[in-house]
Amino acid sequence: MSEDLDGLMRNRRSIRAFLDRPVARDVVEDICRLARTAPSGANLQPGSFHVLAGAPLGDLVAALHHAIDTGEPQVSEYSYFPDPMPADLKARQRAAGYALYAALGIERRDLDGRRRQFRRNYAFFDAPVGVVVTIRRDMGKGCFMDLGMSLMGFLLAAEARGLGATGIGALANYGPVVHRHLGLPDEEMVVCGIALGWPDLDAPENRVRTEREDLPVFASFRGF
C-alpha cells in the first residue's frame, strides 16, 4: 500500500474497465471508514454509502436498464452543472468526452456508439462493486461540499489499495429508480454512484487522463 499522498493524487484517474475479480468486503469496509474521516462542518458527517456486489448489484443494473429501455423520464433533484453551461466550461466538457470516445475508437458522429458508452454508467462499468451515494434532502449546500471531501477520501483510499474507481454522477438521473429498488428512506436523495474494482490496465479507456489547469489559472497569492 502506497503511503505517498502526492503520488496517489497524481496517479488517480477515472477507471471505467475492470478485471473479473471480486473485492473483499473487509477491504471496502476499510475504504468506507477512511472516507468518513473527511472534514465535516459541525461533525454532521453527511452522506451514506450503499454498497452492492453480486446479485444485488446485478438486479439494480437490470432495473436501471429497464427504466432506460421503457422511457422512464430522467429527473434532476439537484443542480450538478451550470444551466446554461458557459462556453469555456462547455469546451472543457466536450474535450473530456472526446478524449474518452477517441480512446475507445468512437467517432464524434457515432451517436449510437456514444449512447452505448454512456449507458455503461448505469451498469457501473461492469465493476464488481457498485456504491450508491445518498444524502439527506434537508442538508444544506455546505453538506454537499463535505460529502465531496468524503468521496475524495474514498477514491484515494481505493487507489492506495491498488483498486480503481470512478464517480457516476449520471446515476442521479434515475434516482427514483434506485430509491425504489433499494427501498431507501424517504429523506435520502441519490447523489451519485461509484464503480469500484481492480482496474484493467490494458483497457484503452483507463489510459485517458483529463488535463488540469495550471496554477496561475485557478490560484492567486498575496503577501509572499
DSSP codes joined into one string, 8-19: HHHH--B---B-
C-alpha–C-alpha distance, residues 30 and 33, integer Å: 5
Beta pairing class for 164-168 and 48-53: unpaired
Edge-to-edge order in the sheet of strand 164-168? 48-53, 129-136, 188-197, 164-168
- Res 3: pLDDT: 58
Nearest-angstrom CA–CA distance, 134 and 156 = 19
Domains located in the chain, CATH noted: 5-70+124-208 (3.40.109.10)
pTM of the predicted protein model: 0.94
d(CA 136, CA 154): 19
Tally of CB atoms within 10 A around 140 = 11
Q: Encode the chain (224 residues) as per-residue pLDDT tens digits.
A: 545 888 999 899 999 999 999 999 999 999 999 999 999 999 999 999 999 999 999 999 999 999 999 999 999 888 889 989 999 999 999 999 999 999 999 998 999 999 999 999 999 999 999 999 999 999 999 999 999 999 999 999 999 999 999 999 999 999 999 999 999 999 999 999 999 999 999 999 999 999 899 999 999 999 99
